[in-house]
Structure 1
């Protein structure tokens, strides 16, 4: 999955991070994703184009949380469609494939909206973050 993140970020200034934990301490996974997003300072990218993929395995919850720069450009329906795509893969027990596929999709969207420029740098680490 780290390779998928690196590949997704290759041609864009955008950033993608994956946070995995067992249980979600919130009723709504989006609220938990938002908390993590800001605690990881993902809102501090130059173009406000970072995306957090949040997954609570034991509770079977997930969320995509995108910063305002990319969220506004793609719109709510884009993000809802990506969540549906992930869920469809998960119902087929294709967890890795579903996660990677959506990460690649997000990378393509970031490449279109925020193409790579020679002055761009990797602003956030690519490794998977494991919570409690």
Structure 2
């Protein structure tokens, strides 16, 4: 799904895109939580976390039943990243967890491993979500799309 304000950039090979979507699907298999990835060239804000929050709400990620959606935001050319989690998961893991995951991603990015860094963050988010919001086969549904969202 592409929103009107989005312009697709080729930050990944087709194989990397497929690997990232597969990582999202795998992360969500054992949890009611949701993971999305948003990629753009430049961050329009000074703080990547502010931009992540803006995107989170534009994508209506705050509408999940358990308020347990997470957004990984990356501004490739600006070399910025942030992770924003809705109140349900944020209350469980806190700011330090998000900051630690961002630092791990940025470390990979420094070594030109953009897809790998995001994939590992998705995996870690999946584990945290599974711990606090385990999968329930009777009630779970995929509330948000799994594909990568590309901005400008």
Aligned match of 1:120: 140
- Could you tell me how far 1:94 is from its partner in structure 2? 1.3
Matched pairs, number: 132
Structure 2 residue 41 is matched with structure 1 residue 31: no
Give the ranges of 4+ consecutive aligned residues of structure 1 lying more than 3 Å apart after TM superposition.
none
Tell me how far apart the structure 1 counterparts of residues 103 and 74 of structure 2 sit (CA, whole Å): 14
What RMSD in Å do the two structures reach over aligned CA positions? 0.7
Which residue does 2:95 correspond to in 1? 76
TM, length-normalised to structure 1 = 0.97
Normalising by structure 2, we get a TM-score of 0.85
- Output the CA distance in 1 between the equivalents of 2:68 and 2:93: 11
Task: Report the equivalent of 2:62.
Answer: 43
State how 1:1-132 maps to structure 2 within 5 Å. 1-118=20-137, 119-132=139-152
Query: Please, which runs of 5 or more residues in structure 2 have no aligned partner?
Result: 1-19
Unaligned runs of 5+ in 1: none
Deviations 1:46-105 (A, max 9, x none): 000000000111111111010010011011111111011111111111111111011000
